């Protein structure tokens, strides 16, 4: 039963993080009257399909089919959302059609994943799913894009001293514009409804109050506000 909720929101964190990194977003939407499901997963040793199957079970058991279903994913969380939606076209139907916001997700892969896997001192310390996040991986090449309205927020702060990945981001990507983990152009989907750039680093964007406002604006209106720079699909 809908019980007066405005809708439901499924949140998925990024690699190396936990649901705590999405707590501020979850609490914000709960205060606005949404049901929220803030999920965790183990990407250190599990493969993509294993993670997806576990999440599929959890989400399927929780979803209220009478309510719109919205999704918010940070980084790898966005790739998992794409996998869930590909499995469940009924979640994208007109009856309960929601929206999706991806935050720095490597929708076209990222050269930082390729760089880590090509260096022996790094490849033994990265999550197992890193192999799926290179630009030429089978997953990235074949994973369907969402059919629901999707907004993408990308950051453009390349370096943060406490985030090791950003130490070699410049070398891995030929200093491409990006958020210190994912190149700006690789966050995009071909059918995205809106795309903005914010002055944020990849690792800490989910806690930013202005980003949360933009996510809210998209969930409610299907577009971001007019505050931040828009870039055409590249």
In a domain, 233, yes or no: no
pLDDT per position as a tens digit, 54-110: 999 999 999 998 899 999 999 999 999 999 999 999 998 766 689 999 999 999 999
The number of folded domains in the chain is 1
DSSP line for the chain? --TT-S-EEEEE--TT--GGGGHHHHHHHHHTT-EEEEE---TTTS-HHHHHHHHHHHHHHH--TTS-EEEEEETHHHHHHHHHHHH-GGGGSGGG--EEEEES--TT--HHHHHHHTSHHHHTSS-GGGGGGSTT-HHHHHPPPPSSEEEEEEE-----TT-HHHHSHHHHHTS-SBSSSSBGGGG--TT-SEEEEES--GGGGGG-HHHHHHHHHHHHHSS--SSSEE----
Note the pLDDT of residue 156: 95
Note the pLDDT of residue 1: 45
Note the pLDDT of residue 154: 97
In a domain, 47, yes or no: yes
Q: Can you list the residues of the chain whose pLDDT is less than 70? A: 1-3, 94-96, 120-125, 231-234
Is 0.75 topped by the overall pTM?
yes
In a domain, 55, yes or no: yes
In a domain, 2, yes or no: no
In a domain, 1, yes or no: no
Expressed as residue numbers, the domain containing 161 is 8-222
In a domain, 229, yes or no: no
Note the pLDDT of residue 3: 67
CATH of the domain at 32: 3.40.50.1820
How would you classify residue 3: left for phi > 0, otherwise alpha for psi between -120 and 50, otherwise beta?
Answer: left
In a domain, 186, yes or no: yes
In a domain, 18, yes or no: yes
Quick one: CA torsion of 21, 23, 25, 28, rounded to 10 degrees? -160
Note the pLDDT of residue 231: 67
Q: Roughly how many angstroms between the first and final C-alpha of the chain, as a whole number?
A: 42
């Amino acid at each position: 039963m809908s019980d007066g909720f405005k809708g439901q929101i499924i949140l998925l964190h990024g690699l190396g993080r936990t649901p705590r990194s999405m707590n501020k977003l979850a609490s914000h939407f709960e205060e606005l009257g949404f049901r929220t499901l803030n999920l965790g997963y183990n990407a250190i040793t599990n493969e993509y399909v294993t993670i997806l199957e576990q999440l599929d079970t959890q989400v399927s058991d929780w979803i209220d089919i009478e309510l719109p279903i919205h999704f918010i994913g940070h980084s790898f969380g966005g790739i998992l959302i794409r996998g869930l939606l590909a499995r469940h076209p009924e979640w994208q139907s007109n009856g309960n059609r929601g929206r999706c916001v991806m935050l720095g997700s490597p929708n076209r892969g990222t050269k930082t994943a390729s760089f880590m896997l090509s260096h022996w001192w790094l490849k033994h310390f990265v999550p197992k799913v890193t192999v799926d996040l290179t630009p030429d991986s089978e997953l990235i090449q074949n994973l369907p894009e969402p059919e629901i309205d999707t907004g993408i927020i990308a950051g453009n702060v390349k370096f943060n001293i406490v985030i090791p990945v950003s130490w070699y981001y410049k070398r891995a990507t030929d200093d491409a514009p990006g958020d210190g983990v994912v190149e700006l152009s690789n966050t995009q989907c071909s059918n995205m409804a809106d795309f903005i750039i914010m002055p944020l680093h990849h690792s800490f964007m989910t806690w930013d109050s202005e980003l949360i406002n933009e996510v809210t604006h998209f969930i409610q209106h299907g577009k971001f506000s007019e505050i931040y720079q828009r870039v055409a699909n590249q």
